[in-house]
């Protein structure tokens, strides 16, 4: 079953294939039938034309009896073909093409046949080729193609009627094109292709005297032929049998042979204009000039062939030598059209073959473009074309850097890039009027050049970043001053050892350029004094020390600008070293393939022959020796060359000196040079050629001014010889360092040109180019050219009109609203600040000044530093009808057209603006002027400068901050009112706070500069800006609040130093804004108390807080902040800030503004702080909840107790002072607080010395002061109440004294001076006992009781013992008898 199914499938497949084959056969037969019908139609048409009577043929020229001849020869062939075409036994593709082409070709070649018949035969042949009845695979198709070419060649082009002849010529052109366009064209031989081109050119010549249409068609046809031929060049393999190394062009298929011949023929057309009368008589239209026609053909061939030309030496050699020489020769003295075409040809050669045309390109720029563009001798149109050509080259992305690398960095060549760049700057620099076309073109080229430099730098940086090769110091070597040459190297001939390593290669190039610059400096020294010049060369390591002959020879030979007279004198000197230099000097010349006069011209171009005959002889002997070494076998020895050289110089003088009346003839010259070649004559033809050359072209003996700028044959031969040994052409993909050096060369004139053009420009395109130029310079300057970027910003800020000191706000607002350029400049300023702020330095001051001006105009974005834009701008009548007139007669132009113009420019300029801000473009439909301006300002993205400041370089950030500080302080500002000054200071400090907040992680990298700037401001003469000081205090406190979260001790200490520095500028400001400062300080303590790490920081912040103790408005906030800080539940009081907090607590509790409750509350907190001291001592002096370092916790016990004791003493001394306040409640509470402090101090383990100090300076002092106050009040009139109040406090104090005495009795008793201490206690008791405080007897009642307590305690501790050697007992008894005798018996019974 399976087998049956398989057999059935195979059968169906076979049937299907059979059907397909039948269809193909049928389709083939149909095609063959169609071809037969077409050929039959053409045969019939041709026969019909041939049968027409002479009267019916307008161009008939039949000879009598010709009908029979036609019938028997031409017509029989056509009839036979008609019979054949319907009886062929094979398809048309297999038929020999000669069978059906021959009848038509015979008609074409027949001389005595009417023009219409020839035209019909040509049309039939064209149709056969177009239908591609045969191709390269058809048998005998090669012979058929050559038959067609032969027939066209033998066709008689001139007949009687011009109209009929024009038709035939047009048909011939079509047939020539069809021959090369058909598939069988590959079978044509080189000679056949050359014949086709030659025939086409004959038609071009014939068309010169005919109609314009035929002329244009003939040229277009030849143009198309050239394109088709050279399109085949990439397919021709180098080294193939068609390489044309021989003269045999009968090869089977056409190739490089015919292409070489055709190209040579086309190049020859450049010189044929003066020789062919027909061409010179042609009308002077652009496409009818022979030179332009030749250049168009050359350009087409180069465009089509492209880089493939470089694979074929013979074709390449023709371009390198003959073509380029003719281009340079014609270019320097040509019409604008020819010059334009020449520039196009060279541009194509540059794009395709520049690696093989290095010196030729330099010569073209030097002798054609730069020479004409300088505008000294040529017409304005030629200058314009030359500038346009240079701009076309500048548009090539790699042109600038390749010119700089290959020529400017090579001491042997001219500075092509530098000359082009500076020339464009010079020609673009505007006069007082509008820009001319040359200036506009030059400016465009300059901008393009700058843009390519910027693109190259960014591309290089991007590639390095992608490959992780970009280092932080990558641009550190940009400055050429960093190059140091410590020894001589043969830089004239030195080669880079590692061209594959970009860094090595770039460094090599930069060193060579540096040496070249030093050479130019040495020129001035040498021209002034030869000896000093040579000393400079040795000092600059341009020659070795001692000098070598070769290095000096290269210096004299290749350094431009040297005094040629001095060179000649140096070379002619008889000194032995000078003779070595002369020999090396002549060895730098290559005289191969030169005749003697060309070599001599080339040699004498480099210096001026000295006047002394002996020097001339030495120089010519050296030249003769060199020429003889490189010449052919014509000369027997160098003496023959030497004699002939002298003869040529004499001939030159004879022929071109006006004082010589009788000129030497050719025969006389030949006669004078007989037998000079080793006793034999030189060839007569050679001498004749020399005579004619000297007679027609003088040998120029150059003077000091320099030399000829014309391209001479000798100079060209020298260039060709040098090109064979020159360094390879270097291709550059963009090297940041080289681009940097390139821009540094043209930076000065380029920026001056940009600024001046922008100032004078009115055309939108020029203005847009200016902005592109400014931004391109900024893109370059961001890489270690900060001074350039600052200069650009300074220029742009000037153009904004915002910094005009003589303009009012109204005038500035009007200018910014009505003029496009100020708005574009403003947009550019802030765009550069956003994009390249990292590299801005001093010009931040200009940017800040613009920013402040916009603030005064109420044009800043609402969110910038809290600025509110709701306040309307200065009132100006800008919402006027179109061209409305004010009262003063000033006509305001329409703002709508300006906005539309600005929108158009912004569309182009906006491509560079950050795409992160997708703002709506400026709309002309916005009716409100202020709103429209705000939209424009929004495009500036001003807030981005500060919000993205974390990406700024440290130097840039420092300069921005200092600019804000100086502006806020009024430096360079013109305030209109005190309110304006205050708003400006506040605005600047808001921005500084924003900057600091965004860069808080690197605070120490920029704030020291801010601090120094504040110090500078404080020292400014006549500075006394209270608004600035006030806003500075607020600003620094705001910075402090943000800093304390992340700050280390150094940062914290610095910010508080800045705070104190501002405070010292004007301390009165602190009192005026105390409430706000207290509020900020309280918030800082509330949120960041635990983050303050330094004592200086605590001292500063508490000092500000303490100011509120004397301010009624701020007192409550201050005291609440302190209470919160010292509360037990907040562990913010540490040994670092303990004493500071106590001092602040004293100021609040003792303040007259404090309520009794608050003072008592503060006193209680002071008393409770003793618990902290006890805790610190018991825990090893660590601060729970503080940030103290671990090393502090490891202090010795003695130091810990001493430190704690010091803190305690400060505490009780502060409370002692409060005990003297006027309010009794607070005074009494202070005494009780002091009592509490001493009670809690038992755990502090005071030494006897500390205890004694506390009694002497605290307790005794308190008691003495209270007693003094009480006595003072008692002596005043009407002060009984105050006296009683003070007496009550004194009683409390004495009770506290007694209790403290008993508490520390054991410790005090161990003091060696206890006796004196005890006498002091008794003396104070006695004083209080005997002091009369009015009618009160409280003290007299209290004192005996207190004495009793103390004496009993002393007895109890066996301190006071009745013994013979106890002097204390006797003294005490005596004092008690004096103070309180009533208790004597009770205390000392029986004594």
Catalytic residues: 612
Closest CA to 1098 of 1132, 1146, 1061, 1048: 1132
How far apart CA 584 and CA 570 sit, in angstroms, is 13
How far apart CA 611 and CA 613 sit, in angstroms, is 6
- Structure-derived torsion over alpha carbons of residues 787, 793, 799, 802, reported in degrees to the nearest 10: -120
What are the tokens at 127?
């149709």
In the chain, the N- to C-terminal Cα span, in Å, equals 156
Task: Confirm if 937 and 931 have CB atoms less than 8 A apart.
Answer: no
Please give the full DSSP string across 61-129, using - where no structure is assigned: -PPTTHHHHHHHTHHHHHHHHHHHHTS-SS-GGGS-HHHHHHHHHHHHH-SSS-HHHHHHHHHHHHHHH
How big is the chain, counted in residues? Answer: 1391
CA–chain centroid gap for 513, Å, is 21
> How many other CB atoms are found less than 10 A from the CB of residue 1103?
19
How far apart CA 938 and CA 803 sit, in angstroms, is 20
How far apart CA 390 and CA 197 sit, in angstroms, is 33
Task: Confirm if 315 and 256 have CB atoms less than 8 A apart.
Answer: yes
Q: Helix, strand or coil for residue 296?
A: helix
How far apart CA 618 and CA 615 sit, in angstroms, is 5
- Structure-derived torsion over alpha carbons of residues 1340, 1346, 1351, 1352, reported in degrees to the nearest 10: 120
User: Prior bond to 1356 cis, omega within 30?
Assistant: no
Query: Percent helix, strand, coil in the chain (nearest 5)?
Result: 70, 0, 30
Q: What is the 3-state secondary structure (H, E, C) of 1156-1178?
A: HHHHHHHHHHHHHHHHHHHHHHH
- Who contacts 176 (Cβ-Cβ below 8 Å, separation ≥6)? 152, 196, 199, 200, 221, 225
Closest CA to 327 of 307, 303, 305, 344: 344
- Who contacts 376 (Cβ-Cβ below 8 Å, separation ≥6)? none
DSSP classification of residue 472: T
Task: Confirm if 179 and 185 have CB atoms less than 8 A apart.
Answer: yes
What are the tokens at 345?
């040809």
How far apart CA 1187 and CA 1175 sit, in angstroms, is 16
DSSP classification of residue 1119: H
How far apart CA 558 and CA 414 sit, in angstroms, is 10
145-155 per-residue burial string, b: 16 or more CB within 10 A, e: under 16: bbbbbebbeeb
What are the tokens at 1363?
């013994």
Residues β-bridged to residue 680: 677
What are the tokens at 759?
């100032």
What are the tokens at 158?
């001139």
How far apart CA 1037 and CA 868 sit, in angstroms, is 23
How far apart CA 379 and CA 1259 sit, in angstroms, is 109
Q: What are phi and psi of 885, to 5 degrees?
A: -115, 135
Measured at the CA of 1131, the angle between CA 1130 and CA 1134, to 5 degrees, comes to 140
Closest CA to 911 of 817, 839, 835: 835
């Amino acid at each position: 079953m399976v087998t049956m199914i398989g057999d059935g499938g195979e059968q169906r497949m076979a049937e299907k294939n059979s059907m397909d084959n039948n269809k193909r056969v049928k389709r083939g037969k149909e095609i063959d039938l169609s071809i037969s019908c077409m050929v039959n139609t053409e045969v019939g048409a041709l026969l019909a034309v041939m049968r027409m009577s002479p009267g019916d043929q307008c161009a008939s020229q039949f000879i009598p009896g010709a009908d029979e001849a036609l019938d028997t020869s031409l017509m029989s062939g056509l009839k036979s073909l008609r019979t054949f075409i319907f009886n062929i036994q094979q398809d048309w593709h297999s038929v020999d093409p000669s069978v059906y082409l021959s009848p038509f070709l015979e008609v074409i070649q027949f001389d005595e046949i009417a023009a219409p018949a020839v035209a019909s035969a040509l049309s039939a042949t064209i149709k056969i080729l177009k239908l591609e009845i045969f191709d390269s695979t058809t048998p005998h198709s090669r012979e058929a193609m050559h038959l067609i070419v032969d027939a066209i060649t033998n066709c008689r082009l001139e007949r009687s009627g011009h109209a009929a002849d024009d038709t035939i010529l047009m048909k011939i052109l079509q047939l020539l094109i069809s021959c090369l366009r058909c598939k069988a064209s590959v079978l044509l031989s080189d000679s056949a292709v050359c014949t086709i081109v030659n025939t086409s050119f004959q038609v071009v010549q014939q068309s010169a005297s005919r109609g314009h249409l035929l002329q244009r068609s003939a040229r277009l046809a030849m143009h198309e032929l050239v394109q088709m031929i050279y399109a085949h060049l990439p397919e021709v393999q180098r080294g193939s049998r068609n390489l044309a190394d021989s003269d045999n062009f009968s090869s089977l298929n056409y190739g490089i042979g015919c292409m070489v011949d055709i190209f040579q023929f086309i190049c020859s057309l450049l010189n044929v204009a003066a020789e062919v009368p027909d061409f010179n008589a042609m009308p002077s239209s652009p496409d009818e000039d022979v030179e332009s026609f030749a250049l168009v053909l050359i350009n087409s061939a180069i465009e089509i062939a492209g880089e493939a030309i470089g694979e074929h030496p013979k074709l390449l050699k023709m371009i390198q030598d003959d073509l380029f020489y003719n281009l340079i020769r014609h270019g320097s003295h040509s019409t604008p059209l020819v010059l334009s075409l020449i520039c196009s040809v060279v541009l194509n050669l540059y794009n395709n073959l520049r690696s093989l045309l290095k010196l030729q390109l330099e010569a073209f720029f030097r002798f054609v473009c730069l020479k004409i563009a300088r505008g000294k001798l040529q017409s304005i149109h030629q200058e314009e074309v030359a500038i346009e050509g240079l701009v076309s080259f500048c548009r090539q992305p790699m042109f600038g850097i390749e010119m700089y690398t290959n020529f400017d960095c090579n001491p042997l060549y001219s500075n092509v890039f530098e000359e082009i760049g500076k020339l464009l700057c010079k020609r673009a620099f505007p006069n007082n009027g509008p820009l001319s076309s040359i200036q506009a073109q030059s400016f465009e080229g300059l901008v393009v050049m700058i843009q390519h430099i910027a693109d190259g730098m960014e591309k290089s940086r991007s590639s390095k970043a992608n490959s992780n090769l970009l280092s932080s110091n990558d641009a550190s070597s940009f400055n050429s001053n960093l190059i140091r040459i410590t020894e001589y190297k043969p830089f004239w001939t030195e080669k880079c050892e590692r061209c594959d390593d970009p860094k090595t290669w770039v460094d090599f190039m930069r060193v060579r350029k540096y040496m070249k610059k030093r050479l130019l400096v040495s020129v001035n020294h040498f021209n002034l004094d030869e000896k000093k010049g040579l000393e400079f060369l040795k000092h600059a390591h341009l020659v070795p020390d001692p000098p070598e002959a070769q290095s000096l020879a290269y210096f004299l030979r290749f350094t431009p600008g040297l005094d040629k007279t001095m060179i000649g004198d140096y070379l002619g000197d008889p000194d032995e070293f000078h003779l070595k230099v002369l020999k090396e000097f002549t060895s730098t010349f290559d005289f191969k393939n030169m005749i003697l006069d060309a070599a001599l011209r080339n040699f004498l171009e480099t210096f001026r022959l000295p006047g002394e005959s002996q020097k001339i002889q030495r120089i010519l002997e050296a030249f003769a020796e060199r020429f003889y070494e490189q010449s052919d076998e014509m000369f027997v020895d160098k003496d023959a060359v030497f004699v002939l050289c002298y003869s040529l110089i004499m001939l030159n003088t004879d022929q071109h000196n006006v004082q010589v009346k009788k000129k030497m003839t050719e025969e006389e010259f030949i006669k004078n040079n007989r037998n000079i070649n080793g006793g034999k004559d030189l060839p007569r033809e050679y001498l004749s050629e020399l005579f004619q050359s000297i007679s027609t072209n003088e040998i120029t003996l150059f003077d000091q001014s320099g030399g000829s700028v014309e391209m001479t044959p000798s100079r060209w031969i020298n260039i060709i010889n040098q090109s064979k040994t020159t360094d390879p052409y270097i291709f550059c993909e963009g090297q940041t360092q080289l681009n940097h050096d390139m821009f540094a060369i043209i930076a000065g004139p380029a920026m001056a040109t940009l600024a001046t053009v922008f100032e004078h420009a009115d055309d939108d395109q020029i203005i847009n180019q200016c902005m592109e130029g400014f931004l391109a310079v900024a893109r370059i300057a961001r890489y270690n050219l900060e001074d350039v970027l600052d200069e650009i910003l300074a220029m742009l800020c000037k153009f904004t009109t915002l910094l005009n000191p003589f303009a009012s706000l109204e005038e500035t607002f009007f200018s910014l609203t009505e003029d496009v350029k100020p708005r574009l400049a403003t947009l550019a300023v802030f765009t550069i600040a956003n994009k390249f702020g990292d590299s801005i330095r001093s010009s931040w001051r200009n940017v800040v000044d613009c920013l402040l001006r916009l603030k005064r105009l109420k044009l800043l974005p609402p969110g910038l530093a809290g600025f509110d834009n709701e306040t309307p701008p200065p009132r100006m009548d800008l919402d006027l009808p179109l061209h409305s007139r004010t009262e003063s007669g000033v006509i305001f132009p329409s703002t709508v057209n300006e906005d539309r113009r600005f929108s158009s420019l912004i569309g182009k300029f906006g491509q560079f603006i950050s795409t992160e801000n997708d703002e709506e473009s400026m709309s002309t439909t916005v009716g409100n002027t202020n709103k429209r301006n705000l939209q424009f300002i929004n495009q500036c993205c001003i807030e981005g400068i500060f919000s993205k400041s974390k990406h700024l370089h440290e130097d840039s950030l420092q300069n921005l901050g200092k600019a804000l500080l100086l502006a806020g302080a009024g430096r360079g500002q013109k305030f209109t009112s005190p309110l304006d000054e205050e708003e400006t200071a506040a605005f600047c400090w808001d921005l500084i706070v924003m900057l600091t907040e965004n860069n808080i992680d690197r605070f120490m990298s920029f704030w020291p500069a801010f601090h120094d700037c504040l110090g500078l401001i404080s020292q400014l003469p006549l500075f006394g800006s209270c608004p600035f000081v006030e806003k500075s205090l607020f600003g620094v406190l705001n910075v402090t609040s943000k800093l304390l979260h992340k700050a280390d001790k150094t940062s914290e200490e610095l910010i508080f130093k800045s705070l104190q520095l501002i405070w010292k500028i004007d301390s009165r400001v602190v009192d005026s804004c105390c409430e706000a400062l207290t509020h900020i300080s309280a918030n800082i303590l509330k949120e960041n108390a635990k983050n303050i790490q330094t004592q200086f920081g605590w001292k500063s912040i508490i000092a500000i807080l303490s100011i509120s103790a004397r301010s009624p408005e701020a007192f409550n906030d201050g005291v609440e902040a302190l209470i919160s800080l010292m509360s037990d539940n907040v562990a913010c009081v540490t040994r670092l800030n303990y004493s500071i907090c106590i001092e602040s607590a004293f100021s609040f509790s003792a303040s007259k503004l404090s309520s009794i409750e608050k003072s008592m509350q503060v006193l209680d907190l002071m008393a409770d702080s003793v618990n902290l001291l006890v805790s610190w001592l018991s825990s090893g002096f660590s601060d729970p909840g503080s940030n103290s370092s671990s090393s502090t916790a490891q202090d010795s016990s003695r130091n810990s107790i001493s430190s704690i004791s010091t803190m305690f003493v400060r505490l009780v001394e502060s409370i002692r002072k409060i005990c003297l306040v006027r309010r009794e409640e607070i005074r009494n509470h202070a005494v009780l607080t002091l009592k509490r402090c001493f009670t809690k101090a038992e755990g502090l383990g005071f030494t006897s010395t500390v205890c004694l100090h506390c009694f002497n300076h605290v307790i005794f002092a308190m008691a003495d002061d209270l007693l003094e106050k009480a006595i003072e009040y008692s002596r005043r009139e009407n002060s009984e109440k105050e006296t009683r109040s003070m007496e009550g406090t004194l009683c409390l104090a004495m009770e506290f004294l007694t209790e403290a005495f008993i508490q520390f009795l054991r410790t005090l008793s161990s003091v060696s001076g206890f006796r004196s201490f005890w006498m002091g206690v008794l003396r104070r008791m006695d004083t209080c006992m005997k002091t009369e405080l009015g009618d009160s007897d409280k003290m007299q009642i209290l004192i005996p009781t207190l004495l009793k307590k103390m004496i009993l305690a002393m007895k109890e501790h066996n301190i006071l013992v009745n013994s013979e050697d106890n002097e204390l007992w006797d003294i005490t008894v005596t004092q008690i008898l004096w103070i309180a005798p009533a208790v004597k018996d009770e205390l000392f019974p029986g004594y």
